[in-house]
Amino acid sequence: MNLALDIAHLLAGGLVVISFVLLYQTRLVSLLDSYVAHAVILGCAVGWQAISQHEPALYVTALLALVVKAGVIPLALRRIVRKLNIHREVDQVVSVGLTMLAGTGLTALSVLVMLPVTIHESSIAREDLMFALAVVLLGLLMMTTRRNAVSEIVGFMSLENGLVLAATGAKGMPLVVEISVVLSILIAIFVIATFLFHIREQFETMDVQALDRFRGDLHG
């Protein structure tokens, strides 16, 4: 058995599984926890690629994933969630079962699309590309099935994790491009997040007050 291939398979497959966990989680705080797991597995997958491809540049990408994505961003998002007082909120638009089934369909789709296209590549690259496409599609699915801005940002970031996985699986991407892409996406997420939340904060407070009046009538 090819151990390098097996571990790469395990980590990339694990990323897809955590994407499904993200789809299953409807509570915001648990969603952020699951996202941390997503980022940690991405970091491990990239790190393993660095070891097996003997590419020291990839260590930087792995470190970025571990520090920024598994550390800084979730912490910041959690603070925002707590500040907005929506940490108990349940976000659900389409039923979980349907979403999961759609997700399985998308995973099957990415298998069917990627395997014939990449027939001349090495097995590691083929599997990585296929799993990466699945993660990207699942991220898109998450963004379309959620209503809450936090969940949508988590969906977007899981999508971006899929892109990073694809980029590291394919050889020959220059380090500078990679780092700058990753960094600019991270910064973009920060900007989008704070921007969204400042807007939301303003409307939310008004909204909640308006809702509270009606809530008493409905349940009282």
Residues engaged in binding other proteins (CB under 8 A):
1-3, 5-7, 9-10, 13-14, 16-17, 20, 24, 96-97, 100-101, 103-104, 107-108, 111, 115, 123, 126-127, 130
Name 99's Cβ contacts closer than 8 Å, sequence gap at least 6: 23, 141, 145
Residue 6 vs 201, nearer CB to other proteins: 6
Residue 108 is encoded by which pair of tokens?
A: 């099957």
Residue 23 vs 65, nearer CB to other proteins: 23
Residue 2 is encoded by which pair of tokens?
A: 């090819």
Residue 11 vs 64, nearer CB to other proteins: 11
Rounded Cα–Cα distance for residues 145 and 154 (Å): 12
What's the min distance (Å) between Cβ of 130 and other proteins? 6
Rounded Cα–Cα distance for residues 101 and 105 (Å): 6
Residue 75 vs 108, nearer CB to other proteins: 108
Residue 39 vs 129, nearer CB to other proteins: 129
Residue 102 vs 179, nearer CB to other proteins: 102
What's the min distance (Å) between Cβ of 28 and other proteins? 18
What's the min distance (Å) between Cβ of 14 and other proteins? 6
What's the min distance (Å) between Cβ of 48 and other proteins? 12
Q: What are phi and psi of 101, to 5 degrees?
A: -65, -45
Name 13's Cβ contacts closer than 8 Å, sequence gap at least 6: 131
Query: What are residue 27's DSSP bridge partners?
Result: 90
Rounded Cα–Cα distance for residues 220 and 173 (Å): 61
The DSSP element (H or E) to which 148 belongs, if any, is: none
What's the min distance (Å) between Cβ of 11 and other proteins? 9
Helix or strand or coil: residue 90?
A: strand
What's the min distance (Å) between Cβ of 101 and other proteins? 7
Rounded Cα–Cα distance for residues 216 and 213 (Å): 6
